[in-house]
C-alpha cells in the first residue's frame, strides 16, 4: 500500500496558517518547559520530552517547506529562528526579508526575550 501526498500552492494557502499557529503555541509551551527544566522532576522531564522534540521537528519542517516556498529561497539553516536571524542581519541588502524577520522576531521575543 502506497500513500501519496501531493501539495499544491493552493494547499499552502490553508495549510500554512494552521501550521504557523500550531508552531507558535508549541514555541510558547517549549520555552515554558525550558525555563523550568531545572525544577522539573525526572518524570516530568520524560513526559515533556516528546512535545519538545515534536516542536523542534515542526520548526524544522516549517522552515524547510513553508518558509522555503514563501520566501522562494532554499534553506541554509535548520530552524526558522536561524533563518530570521540571518534575514535581520541582511538589513538594507534585503529590506523585505529583513522587515519580515524583524516583525516575526518582535512577536517571538515577547515570550522568550533575546531568542531571535
Per-residue pLDDT reduced to its tens digit, 11-70: 767 778 888 899 899 999 999 999 999 999 999 999 999 999 999 999 999 999 888 888
Q: Write out the three cell numbers for 21.
A: 499557529
Distance CA 17, CA 11 (A): 11
Q: Domain total for the chain? A: 1
3-8: average pLDDT: 74
> 20-26: which pairs have CB atoms within 8 A and are 24 or more residues apart?
20/62, 20/66, 22/58, 23/55, 23/58, 23/59, 23/62, 23/80, 24/107, 26/51, 26/54, 26/55, 26/58, 26/59
> Tens of pLDDT along 66-109?
888 888 889 999 999 999 999 999 888 888 888 988 998 898 88
**Residue 61 is assigned to a structural domain of this protein:** yes
**Residue 14 is assigned to a structural domain of this protein:** yes
**Residue 115 is assigned to a structural domain of this protein:** no
**Residue 3 is assigned to a structural domain of this protein:** no
Q: Which domain holds residue 66?
A: 9-109
**Residue 89 is assigned to a structural domain of this protein:** yes
**Residue 74 is assigned to a structural domain of this protein:** yes
**Residue 4 is assigned to a structural domain of this protein:** no
Average pLDDT over all residues of the chain = 88
Amino acid at each position: 500500500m502506497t500513500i501519496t501526498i501531493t501539495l499544491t500552492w493552493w494547499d499552502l494557502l490553508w495549510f500554512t496558517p494552521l501550521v504557523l499557529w500550531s508552531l507558535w503555541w508549541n514555541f510558547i509551551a517549549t520555552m515554558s518547559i525550558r525555563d523550568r527544566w531545572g525544577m522539573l522532576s525526572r518524570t516530568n522531564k520524560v513526559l515533556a520530552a516528546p512535545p519538545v522534540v515534536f516542536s523542534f521537528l515542526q520548526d524544522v519542517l516549517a522552515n524547510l517547506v513553508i518558509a522555503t516556498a514563501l520566501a522562494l529561497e532554499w534553506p541554509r539553516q535548520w530552524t526558522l529562528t536561524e533563518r530570521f536571524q540571518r534575514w535581520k542581519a541582511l538589513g538594507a541588502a534585503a529590506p523585505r526579508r529583513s522587515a519580515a524577520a524583524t516583525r516575526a522576531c518582535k512577536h517571538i521575543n515577547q515570550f522568550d526575550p533575546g531568542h531571535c
